[in-house]
């Protein structure tokens, strides 16, 4: 399967590679001081455009990156979520960022589960982490819903090394045991 053909569908969502049409909503997310607070901070459209190109570039160069998370019926872009491992990163991350309009609706949990499944099935990873600011209570709650635990403080590579993070995560074995238990219910 070609990278461009990768698409994951859930009950309400489609996870797919980023497309040009996603940019306006992406720029809204990264222009929103509250929504972008824990993912590098708010920025203007020109800076958001350069940041937007990171994910298509990661897909092209690494063969993986964050998915665009869209509404299955309307196509509305809610955010990005998925595997992410820039140079110098503290581990194999599945990260996320969502527009405020998508908060509190369960989209992140619904998208993260198949994204982690996809990462373990396709990338050969033995573990997954989430780099979360200690003040980001919502992301900590999502990590816990996913079965991840807090391993303590971590450090991102420069120029992000001044951002406080905690490393949340779990092993492939822990994830698979949790998924088997869920499927047995």
Predicted local confidence at residue 48, as pLDDT: 95
Reported as a single tens digit per residue, the pLDDT across 19-76 is 999 999 999 999 999 999 999 889 999 999 999 999 999 999 999 999 999 999 999 9
What percentage of the chain reaches a pLDDT higher than 70? Answer: 98
**pTM metric for this prediction:** 0.94
Residue at 1 is within a domain: no
Please tell me the total count of domains within the chain. Answer: 1
Q: How far apart are the C-alpha atoms of 133 and 95, rounded to whole Å?
A: 12
CATH label of the domain that carries residue 36: 3.40.630.30
Q: Which domain holds residue 56?
A: 6-184
């Amino acid at each position: 399967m070609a990278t461009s053909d990768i698409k994951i569908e859930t009950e309400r969502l489609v996870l797919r590679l980023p497309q040009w049409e996603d940019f306006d909503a992406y720029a809204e997310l990264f222009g929103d001081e509250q929504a972008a607070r824990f993912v590098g901070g708010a920025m203007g459209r020109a800076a958001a455009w350069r940041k937007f190109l990171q994910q298509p570039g990661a897909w092209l160069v690494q063969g993986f990156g964050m998915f665009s998370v869209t509404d299955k019926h309307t196509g509305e872009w809610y955010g990005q979520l998925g595997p992410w491992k820039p140079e110098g990163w503290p581990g194999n991350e599945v990260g996320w960022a969502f527009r405020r309009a998508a908060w509190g609706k369960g989209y992140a949990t619904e998208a993260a589960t198949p994204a982690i499944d996809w990462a373990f099935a396709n990338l050969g990873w033995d573990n997954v982490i989430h780099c979360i600011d200690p003040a980001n209570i919502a992301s900590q709650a999502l990590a816990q819903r996913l079965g991840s635990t807090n391993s303590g403080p971590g450090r991102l590579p420069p120029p992000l090394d001044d951002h406080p993070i905690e490393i949340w995560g779990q092993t492939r074995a822990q994830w698979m045991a949790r998924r088997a238990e869920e499927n047995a219910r």
